[in-house]
Amino acid sequence: MTERERDVGDWPGFHGRFAYDDAADGDLPLSEDEAALLRDLGASGTTRRDFMKMLAMAGLSLSAAHALVGCRANGGQAAEGGGGGLKAGNDGVETVPVTLDVNGAKHQLDVDTRTSLLDALRERLHLTGTKKGCDHGQCGACTVLVGGERVLSCLTLAAQADGQAVFTVEGLAKGEELHPMQAAFIKHDGFQCGYCTPGQICSAVAVLNEIKRGDASHVTADVTRPVKELTDDEVRERMSGNICRCGAYPKIVAAVQDVHTGGAPRAQTWRFVPQEELAALDLQRKQASHDAV
């Protein structure tokens, strides 16, 4: 193992030192994509090892490097002919004009290129129904619909939603008439504190669209055929990106199923257990653990 530190002074915009493990990387020829990316970055190298070292020096992943090349290309256009729309203010912050079509209303905004869709919705348009939970793509509280698909707005740039139809929880009701999913959440008591609820509802609306299309999920037994049946397991799996700290999950599943089936009665899958039965179960458990010893 020959881990050693090197200067990164020859990579524009990056300073300091990095550690790189030569032995851990194979010295393979570059793929076509990698060679093209290297050319776009204005660098040269002949092997995959050189390429990976350059990315390591810049602290970049492959996808980040692609994004960097894309930004440079857009920035170049803006500088040359005003195309691309990037502007730099006196403070050096680059902004980009975007049209956000939210809940049927169009909004023209100049946003910092780094602004997330979540922040644009909450801070610029004051649509605070969409919640910020983790801001790291882990809780689902910020779920909104973009182009009919659910997205995590904390991980989506406002610029990515430019010109697309965005729906937040505020846009689901028709005036005083609640969206069936909102009504079902109330009917089934699918929330307690309500913090996760806007994200849960937007996600659930998209789940039903996915089922209409027959999209498979991780728990679909036969992925070669369109999914027709929305089992509780399918609902749980498809809604698993939406965390509820209050644990309202069984009620959320019931609400989604209610809308899916149009209110058809469902078999009750739980029951209250009498004290005597609980005591008998407890005795059995104790006996089993005693036998195991």
Q: Does 250 contact ligand FES by CB under 6 A?
A: no
Task: Quote the least distance from Cβ 159 to ligand FES, whole Å.
Answer: 17
Out of 25, 135, 215, 233, the only residue in the binding site for ligand FES (CB under 6 A) is 135
CA–CA distances in Å: residue 61 to residues 68, 71, 219, 270: 10, 15, 31, 48
Dihedral over Cα of 274, 278, 283, 288: its sign = positive
Q: Does 180 contact ligand FES by CB under 6 A?
A: no
Residue 107 bridge partners (DSSP): 100
# of chain residues touching ligand FES (CB under 6 A): 23
Picking from 111, 113, 34, 38, the residue whose alpha carbon sits closest to that of residue 75 is: 113
Helices 180-187 and 249-261, packing angle to 10 deg: 130
Q: Of the two residues 137 and 250, which places its CB atom closer to ligand FES in the complex?
A: 137
Q: Hunting for tokens 């006996």 — which residue is that? A: 287
Q: Does 137 contact ligand FES by CB under 6 A?
A: yes
Q: Of the two residues 58 and 120, which places its CB atom closer to ligand FES in the complex?
A: 120
Q: Does 193 contact ligand FES by CB under 6 A?
A: yes
Token readout for 271 is: 């029951």
Q: Does 179 contact ligand FES by CB under 6 A?
A: no
Residue 292 three-state SS: helix
Q: What are the phi and psi torsion angles at 88 (to 5°)?
A: -110, 125
Out of 212, 225, 245, 266, the only residue in the binding site for ligand FES (CB under 6 A) is 245
Task: Quote the least distance from Cβ 141 to ligand FES, whole Å.
Answer: 5
Residue 143 bridge partners (DSSP): 152
Q: Does 134 contact ligand FES by CB under 6 A?
A: yes
Q: Does 142 contact ligand FES by CB under 6 A?
A: yes
Among 35-43, 71-79, 187-195, 264-272, which window interacts with ligand FES (CB under 6 A)?
Answer: 187-195
Q: Does 249 contact ligand FES by CB under 6 A?
A: no
- With helix as H, strand as E and coil as C, how does 5-43 read? EEECCCCCCCCCEEEEEHHHCCCCECCHHHHHHHHHCCC
Task: Quote the least distance from Cβ 192 to ligand FES, whole Å.
Answer: 4
Among 21-29, 82-90, 163-171, 189-197, which window interacts with ligand FES (CB under 6 A)?
Answer: 189-197
Q: Please state, in angstroms and rounded to a whole number, the distance separating the CA atoms of residues 231 and 272.
A: 23
Q: Of the two residues 51 and 191, which places its CB atom closer to ligand FES in the complex?
A: 191
Query: What are the residues binding ligand FES (CB under 6 A)?
Result: 132-135, 137-142, 152, 154, 191-197, 244-246, 248
